[in-house]
Amino acid sequence: MGEPQQVKFPQEVIDEYAALGVDLRALFSAGHLGTRMGVQITEASADRVVGTMPVEGNTQPYGLLHGGASAVLAETLGSVGSMLHGGVNKIAVGVDLNCTHHRGARSGLVTGVATPVHRGRSTATYEIVITDEADKRVCTARLTCLLRDVRPGDAEKAAG
């Protein structure tokens, strides 16, 4: 799965979180599940989040990319976009995920691109398009996140 890549954030976002003493790259990682699945976030802003995931190790019994693996990639990317939209005083919590699987993938990397459909004060919705290495659409997903206020202890829970 190789070395983790550095996520690209806009400088103003890095500065905003650094002023609060928050390790932005750790906070906006793919988490433990995403790490086990090889998810790599390569670009992140409220306008666009890009990430990859290997097909190998994330397949169902027929050797095709598991639909649940596509869902993990989609929710990860959409959640990162929602968190960046919400800013340092909000936490994004997924409340609805819809995935349509268009074709199978048997090898290589799939790439997901999340773009906003709606960005409000209390919810954010992202469309996530997942393609294979031939740039053929494998899955289209839509994620809606609730943006709730940060509560005491949230940072410690995220770090743990």
Query: Which pLDDT score, from 0 to 100, does residue 132 have?
Result: 98
Please give the structure tokens belonging to residue 132: 């294979």
pLDDT in tens, 49-81: 999 999 999 999 999 999 999 999 999 999 999
Prediction pTM value? 0.86
DSSP helix/strand/coil, 63? coil
Please, which residues have CB within 8 angstroms of residue 5's CB and are 6 or more apart in sequence?
40, 41, 42
Catalytic residues: 75
Q: How many other C-beta atoms lie within 10 A of the C-beta of residue 71?
A: 19
CA distances to 6, 26, 81, 145, 156 from 21, rounded to whole Å, are 19, 12, 20, 25, 13
Contact 138, 98 (CB under 8 A): no
Q: For the segment 95-104, what is each residue's pLDDT rounded down to a tens digit?
A: 999 999 999 9
Averaged pLDDT for residues 113-118: 98
Mean pLDDT of the chain, nearest integer = 88
CA pair distance 154, 159, nearest whole angstrom? 9
- Cα separation, 8 vs 31, in Å, equals 17
